[in-house]
Amino acid sequence: MSDFDDEEYESFELDGAGKPRESGAAPAEADDDLDDDDDLEDAAEDEIDFVLAAYREDGQPYVQALAKDLANDFDELIIQLRRLPGDAGALGFVSLVEEVFVLVRVRGQHVQVLLSDGDAAADWPIARDVADYLGEEIPDEDEDDDGEPMGDLGMLADLGLSEFDLTAIIDNLDLSSDQMLIEVADKLKLNPQFRKVAESVFN
Protein backbone atom coordinates (compact mmCIF):
# COMPACT_ATOMS: atom_id res chain seq x y z
CA MET A 1 0.00 0.00 0.00
CA SER A 2 1.23 3.49 -0.81
CA ASP A 3 2.73 5.86 1.75
CA PHE A 4 0.87 9.02 2.70
CA ASP A 5 1.33 12.12 4.83
CA ASP A 6 -0.72 13.77 7.57
CA GLU A 7 -2.37 16.26 5.25
CA GLU A 8 -4.07 13.70 2.97
CA TYR A 9 -7.38 13.39 4.76
CA GLU A 10 -10.71 15.12 4.88
CA SER A 11 -13.02 15.71 7.83
CA PHE A 12 -16.58 16.86 7.31
CA GLU A 13 -20.23 15.97 7.83
CA LEU A 14 -22.06 14.53 4.86
CA ASP A 15 -25.21 16.24 3.67
CA GLY A 16 -28.27 14.67 5.19
CA ALA A 17 -26.24 12.59 7.63
CA GLY A 18 -27.23 12.01 11.17
CA LYS A 19 -30.94 12.68 11.05
CA PRO A 20 -32.36 10.80 14.02
CA ARG A 21 -34.85 8.11 13.30
CA GLU A 22 -38.39 9.16 14.12
CA SER A 23 -39.94 7.14 16.89
CA GLY A 24 -43.64 6.87 17.56
CA ALA A 25 -45.58 5.08 20.22
CA ALA A 26 -45.66 1.34 19.66
CA PRO A 27 -49.11 -0.06 18.87
CA ALA A 28 -50.93 -1.71 21.74
CA GLU A 29 -50.40 -5.14 20.24
CA ALA A 30 -46.63 -4.68 19.87
CA ASP A 31 -44.49 -7.38 21.43
CA ASP A 32 -42.07 -6.95 24.31
CA ASP A 33 -39.06 -6.60 21.99
CA LEU A 34 -40.55 -3.50 20.38
CA ASP A 35 -41.29 -2.07 23.81
CA ASP A 36 -37.65 -2.64 24.74
CA ASP A 37 -36.58 -0.77 21.61
CA ASP A 38 -38.70 2.22 22.62
CA ASP A 39 -37.11 2.19 26.08
CA LEU A 40 -33.59 2.59 24.70
CA GLU A 41 -32.51 6.22 24.69
CA ASP A 42 -30.25 7.55 21.96
CA ALA A 43 -26.65 8.06 22.89
CA ALA A 44 -26.07 11.67 23.87
CA GLU A 45 -23.42 13.67 22.03
CA ASP A 46 -21.03 13.45 24.97
CA GLU A 47 -21.43 9.64 24.95
CA ILE A 48 -20.36 9.36 21.31
CA ASP A 49 -16.58 9.30 20.98
CA PHE A 50 -16.57 9.52 17.20
CA VAL A 51 -18.17 8.32 13.98
CA LEU A 52 -15.62 7.98 11.18
CA ALA A 53 -15.52 6.62 7.66
CA ALA A 54 -12.47 5.38 5.79
CA TYR A 55 -11.91 4.20 2.26
CA ARG A 56 -9.21 3.91 -0.41
CA GLU A 57 -9.36 5.42 -3.85
CA ASP A 58 -6.62 4.54 -6.33
CA GLY A 59 -4.77 3.04 -3.37
CA GLN A 60 -4.80 6.29 -1.40
CA PRO A 61 -6.45 6.16 2.07
CA TYR A 62 -9.00 8.79 3.09
CA VAL A 63 -10.61 9.28 6.51
CA GLN A 64 -13.66 11.44 7.21
CA ALA A 65 -15.56 12.42 10.34
CA LEU A 66 -19.28 11.77 9.94
CA ALA A 67 -22.17 13.33 11.85
CA LYS A 68 -22.26 11.98 15.39
CA ASP A 69 -26.01 11.38 15.20
CA LEU A 70 -25.21 8.42 12.94
CA ALA A 71 -24.13 6.62 16.11
CA ASN A 72 -27.85 6.24 16.81
CA ASP A 73 -28.98 5.16 13.34
CA PHE A 74 -27.43 2.03 11.83
CA ASP A 75 -29.53 2.18 8.65
CA GLU A 76 -28.57 5.78 7.92
CA LEU A 77 -24.91 5.01 8.63
CA ILE A 78 -25.02 2.32 5.94
CA ILE A 79 -26.65 4.76 3.51
CA GLN A 80 -23.92 7.34 4.09
CA LEU A 81 -21.14 4.76 3.73
CA ARG A 82 -22.66 3.51 0.50
CA ARG A 83 -22.31 7.01 -0.98
CA LEU A 84 -18.53 6.97 -0.57
CA PRO A 85 -16.16 5.76 -3.27
CA GLY A 86 -13.69 3.04 -2.48
CA ASP A 87 -11.58 0.35 -4.09
CA ALA A 88 -12.79 -2.21 -1.53
CA GLY A 89 -15.87 -0.51 -0.13
CA ALA A 90 -16.15 1.95 2.74
CA LEU A 91 -15.61 1.32 6.44
CA GLY A 92 -17.56 2.89 9.27
CA PHE A 93 -16.16 3.18 12.80
CA VAL A 94 -18.38 4.09 15.79
CA SER A 95 -17.09 4.30 19.36
CA LEU A 96 -19.37 4.89 22.36
CA VAL A 97 -18.36 5.91 25.90
CA GLU A 98 -14.90 4.41 25.29
CA GLU A 99 -16.44 0.98 25.96
CA VAL A 100 -18.07 -0.40 22.85
CA PHE A 101 -17.55 -0.06 19.12
CA VAL A 102 -19.40 -0.88 15.92
CA LEU A 103 -17.42 -1.60 12.77
CA VAL A 104 -19.24 -1.64 9.42
CA ARG A 105 -18.02 -2.49 5.93
CA VAL A 106 -20.21 -1.60 2.95
CA ARG A 107 -19.52 -2.77 -0.59
CA GLY A 108 -22.52 -1.98 -2.75
CA GLN A 109 -25.39 -3.99 -1.34
CA HIS A 110 -23.06 -6.19 0.70
CA VAL A 111 -22.85 -5.16 4.37
CA GLN A 112 -20.67 -6.72 7.05
CA VAL A 113 -20.79 -5.62 10.66
CA LEU A 114 -19.11 -6.28 13.98
CA LEU A 115 -20.21 -5.24 17.47
CA SER A 116 -17.34 -5.43 19.95
CA ASP A 117 -19.58 -6.37 22.90
CA GLY A 118 -22.86 -8.19 22.32
CA ASP A 119 -24.16 -7.12 25.72
CA ALA A 120 -24.26 -3.54 24.44
CA ALA A 121 -27.35 -4.47 22.41
CA ALA A 122 -29.32 -4.11 25.66
CA ASP A 123 -28.07 -0.54 26.15
CA TRP A 124 -27.50 1.31 22.88
CA PRO A 125 -29.83 1.72 19.87
CA ILE A 126 -27.12 1.14 17.24
CA ALA A 127 -25.98 -2.02 19.03
CA ARG A 128 -29.60 -3.21 19.14
CA ASP A 129 -29.88 -2.47 15.42
CA VAL A 130 -26.75 -4.55 14.75
CA ALA A 131 -28.18 -7.49 16.70
CA ASP A 132 -31.44 -7.20 14.76
CA TYR A 133 -29.56 -7.00 11.44
CA LEU A 134 -27.60 -10.13 12.33
CA GLY A 135 -30.67 -11.95 13.61
CA GLU A 136 -29.04 -12.39 17.01
CA GLU A 137 -30.91 -12.53 20.30
CA ILE A 138 -30.58 -9.57 22.64
CA PRO A 139 -28.54 -10.65 25.69
CA ASP A 140 -30.28 -10.74 29.04
CA GLU A 141 -29.36 -7.64 31.03
CA ASP A 142 -29.30 -9.73 34.23
CA GLU A 143 -26.54 -12.02 32.95
CA ASP A 144 -23.11 -11.37 34.47
CA ASP A 145 -21.11 -12.97 31.64
CA ASP A 146 -18.56 -10.83 29.85
CA GLY A 147 -19.94 -9.73 26.51
CA GLU A 148 -18.68 -11.52 23.42
CA PRO A 149 -18.26 -9.88 20.02
CA MET A 150 -21.25 -10.14 17.72
CA GLY A 151 -20.85 -10.26 13.94
CA ASP A 152 -18.15 -10.98 11.37
CA LEU A 153 -14.68 -11.12 12.91
CA GLY A 154 -13.20 -12.01 9.52
CA MET A 155 -14.67 -9.03 7.67
CA LEU A 156 -11.29 -7.31 7.24
CA ALA A 157 -9.12 -10.34 6.48
CA ASP A 158 -8.69 -9.41 2.82
CA LEU A 159 -7.57 -5.93 3.89
CA GLY A 160 -4.78 -7.25 6.09
CA LEU A 161 -6.47 -7.73 9.48
CA SER A 162 -7.10 -11.41 10.24
CA GLU A 163 -9.87 -12.73 12.45
CA PHE A 164 -7.22 -13.78 14.98
CA ASP A 165 -5.67 -10.30 15.14
CA LEU A 166 -9.03 -8.52 15.34
CA THR A 167 -10.09 -10.81 18.18
CA ALA A 168 -6.82 -10.05 19.98
CA ILE A 169 -7.51 -6.32 19.74
CA ILE A 170 -11.01 -6.72 21.18
CA ASP A 171 -9.75 -8.98 23.96
CA ASN A 172 -7.12 -6.45 25.07
CA LEU A 173 -8.81 -5.03 28.17
CA ASP A 174 -6.11 -2.36 28.48
CA LEU A 175 -7.57 -0.62 25.42
CA SER A 176 -10.68 1.54 25.37
CA SER A 177 -13.01 1.12 22.38
CA ASP A 178 -11.66 4.21 20.63
CA GLN A 179 -8.11 2.90 21.07
CA MET A 180 -9.20 -0.47 19.70
CA LEU A 181 -10.43 1.21 16.54
CA ILE A 182 -7.18 3.16 16.21
CA GLU A 183 -5.36 -0.18 16.45
CA VAL A 184 -7.65 -1.58 13.74
CA ALA A 185 -6.89 1.45 11.56
CA ASP A 186 -3.18 0.95 12.15
CA LYS A 187 -3.37 -2.65 10.94
CA LEU A 188 -5.25 -1.43 7.87
CA LYS A 189 -2.58 1.24 7.24
CA LEU A 190 -5.06 4.07 7.69
CA ASN A 191 -2.89 5.93 10.19
CA PRO A 192 -1.82 8.64 10.80
CA GLN A 193 -4.95 10.00 9.09
CA PHE A 194 -7.38 7.98 11.20
CA ARG A 195 -5.76 8.88 14.50
CA LYS A 196 -5.60 12.56 13.60
CA VAL A 197 -9.29 12.77 12.62
CA ALA A 198 -10.38 10.66 15.61
CA GLU A 199 -8.51 12.90 18.04
CA SER A 200 -9.95 16.04 16.44
CA VAL A 201 -13.56 14.99 17.09
CA PHE A 202 -13.16 12.85 20.23
CA ASN A 203 -15.41 13.78 23.16
Predicted confidence (pLDDT) per residue in 91-132, tens digit: 999 999 999 999 999 998 999 999 999 999 999 999 999 999
**What span, in angstroms and rounded, lies between the C-alpha atoms of 99 and 39?**
21
Counts of helices then strands in the chain (DSSP H, E): 6, 6
pLDDT band at 9 (very low <50, low <70, confident <90, very high): very low
Burial of 173 from C-beta contacts in 10 A (0-12 / 13-18 / 19+): exposed
CA-based nearest residue to 18, from 54, 46, 39, 42: 42
Residue 133 has pLDDT above 80, yes or no: yes
pLDDT at 152: 97
pLDDT at 143: 59
**For residue 7, pLDDT beyond 70:** no
Residue range 91-100, pLDDT digits in tens: 999 999 999 9
pTM of the predicted model over 0.95: no
**pLDDT tier at 158 (50, 70, 90 boundaries)?**
very high
User: What is the C-alpha to C-alpha distance for residues 155 and 69, in angstroms, rounded to an integer?
Assistant: 25
More confident residue, 108 or 2: 108
Q: What is the 3-state secondary structure (H, E, C) of 102-131?
A: EEEEEECCEEEEEECCHHHHHCCHHHHHHH
Please state the rounded mean pLDDT for residues 189-200.
96
CA distances from 128 to 21, 66, 109, 121, 159 (A): 14, 20, 21, 4, 27
Integer Cα distance of 60 and 82 in angstroms: 18
In three-state secondary structure terms, 47 is helix
The candidate with the shortest Cα–Cα distance to 149, out of 183, 177, 174, 125, is: 177
10-63 tens-digit pLDDT: 433 334 444 444 434 444 443 444 444 457 899 999 999 999 999 999 889 999
Could you tell me which residue, 135 or 29, shows the higher pLDDT? 135
> Quick one: pLDDT at residue 17?
41
